[in-house]
Structure 1
Amino acid sequence: MQREQAWRFAREADEQPSLGRMNASVPVPLRGSWLRRLLAFAGPGYMVSVGYMDPGNWATDIAGGAQFGYTLLSVILLSNLMAIVLQALAARLGIATGRDLAQACRDHYSKPVSVTLWLVCEAAIIACDLAEVIGTAIALKLLFGIPLLIGATVTALDVFLILLLMSRGFRALEAFVIALLTVIFACFGIQIALAAPSLQAVLGGFLPSPEIVTNPAALYLAIGIIGATVMPHNLYLHSSIVQTRAYARDEEGRRSALRFAVADSTVALMLALFVNASILIMAATVFHGGGRTDVQEIEQAYDLLSPLLGVGIASTLFAVALLASGLNSTVTATLAGQIVMEGFLRLRLPDWARRLLTRGIAIVPVVAVTAVYGEQGTARLLVLSQVVLSMQLPFAIIPLVQFVSDRRKMGALVIPAWLRLLSWAIAGLIVALNLKLLAETVLA
Structure 2
Amino acid sequence: MSGSNECTDEAGWKRDRGDGSLLDVHRTVRVDRNAPPWRKAAAFLGPGYLVAVGYMDPGNWATSIAGGSAFGYTLLFVALLSNVMAIVLQSLCARLAIASGRDLAQACRDAYPGYVALPLWFLAEIAIVATDIAEVIGTAIGLNLLFGIPLEIGVLITAVDVFLILWLQRLGFRWVEALIVTLLGVIAVCFAVQIAMVDPNWGDVIRGFAPTTEIVSNPEMLYLALGILGATVMPHNLYLHSGIVQTRAYGTTLPEKHQALRFATIDSTVALCFALLVNASILILAAGAFHTTGRTGIAELGEAHSLLAPILGAAVAPTLFGVALLCCGINSTVTATLAGQIVMEGFLDIRLAPWLRRLITRIIAIVPAASVTIWFGESGTARLLILTQVVLSLQLSFAVFPLVMFTMDRRKMGELVAPRWLAGVALAIAVAIALLNVKLLFDFVLGARSH
Stretches of structure 1 that go unaligned for 5 or more consecutive residues are none
**SS state of the match for residue 281, structure 2?**
helix
Between 1:63-72 and 1:155-164, the stretch displaced more is 63-72
Equivalence for 2:15 = 10
Q: Which of 72, 89, 92 is 1:89 aligned to?
A: 92
Equivalence for 1:353 = 356
**SS state of the match for residue 249, structure 2?**
coil
Measured in 2, the distance between the counterparts of 1:436 and 1:31 equals 52
C-alpha distance 166-5 of structure 1, shift in aligned 2 (>3 A): same
Question: CA-to-partner distance for each residue in 1:178-233, whole Å, 9 max, x for gaps?
Answer: 11111111111111111112222222222223443454443333233223321101
C-alpha distance 216-130 of structure 1, shift in aligned 2 (>3 A): closer
Q: Which of 57, 63, 67 is 1:64 aligned to?
A: 67
CA shift, 1:321, in A, is: 0.6
Measured in 2, the distance between the counterparts of 1:221 and 1:8 equals 39
Asked if residue 165 in structure 1 is aligned to residue 168 in structure 2, the reply is yes
Equivalence for 1:384 = 387
Equivalence for 2:141 = 138
Between 1:97-106 and 1:68-77, the stretch displaced more is 68-77
Note the 1:286-435 alignment, pairs <5 A. Answer: 286-435=289-438
Measured in 2, the distance between the counterparts of 1:198 and 1:373 equals 37
Measured in 1, the distance between the counterparts of 2:10 and 2:168 equals 39
Q: Which of 193, 198, 208 is 1:195 aligned to?
A: 198
Q: What RMSD over aligned residues (CA atoms) do the two structures have, in Å?
A: 1.8
Question: CA-to-partner distance for each residue in 1:137-189, whole Å, 9 max, x for gaps?
Answer: 11111111111111001100111101101111110111111111111111111
C-alpha distance 386-219 of structure 1, shift in aligned 2 (>3 A): closer
Between 1:319-328 and 1:214-223, the stretch displaced more is 214-223
Stretches of structure 2 that go unaligned for 5 or more consecutive residues are none
Measured in 2, the distance between the counterparts of 1:114 and 1:209 equals 38
Q: Which of 273, 278, 282 is 1:279 aligned to?
A: 282
Question: CA-to-partner distance for each residue in 1:305-343, whole Å, 9 max, x for gaps?
Answer: 111000111011111111100110000101011111111
Equivalence for 1:148 = 151
TM-score for the superposition, normalised by structure 2? 0.94
**Is contact 1:405–1:420 with CA below 8 Å preserved after alignment?**
yes
**Is contact 1:82–1:426 with CA below 8 Å preserved after alignment?**
yes
TM-score for the superposition, normalised by structure 1? 0.95
C-alpha distance 391-71 of structure 1, shift in aligned 2 (>3 A): closer
Equivalence for 1:122 = 125
C-alpha distance 210-368 of structure 1, shift in aligned 2 (>3 A): closer
Aligned residues: 442
Measured in 1, the distance between the counterparts of 2:425 and 2:177 equals 31
**SS state of the match for residue 22, structure 1?**
coil
**SS state of the match for residue 11, structure 1?**
coil
Equivalence for 1:39 = 42
**Is contact 2:300–2:378 with CA below 8 Å preserved after alignment?**
no
CA shift, 1:441, in A, is: 4.7
**Is contact 1:341–1:347 with CA below 8 Å preserved after alignment?**
yes
Between 1:213-222 and 1:132-141, the stretch displaced more is 213-222
Measured in 1, the distance between the counterparts of 2:379 and 2:41 equals 45
Measured in 1, the distance between the counterparts of 2:213 and 2:115 equals 45
Give % identity.
Answer: 60
**Is contact 1:26–1:171 with CA below 8 Å preserved after alignment?**
yes
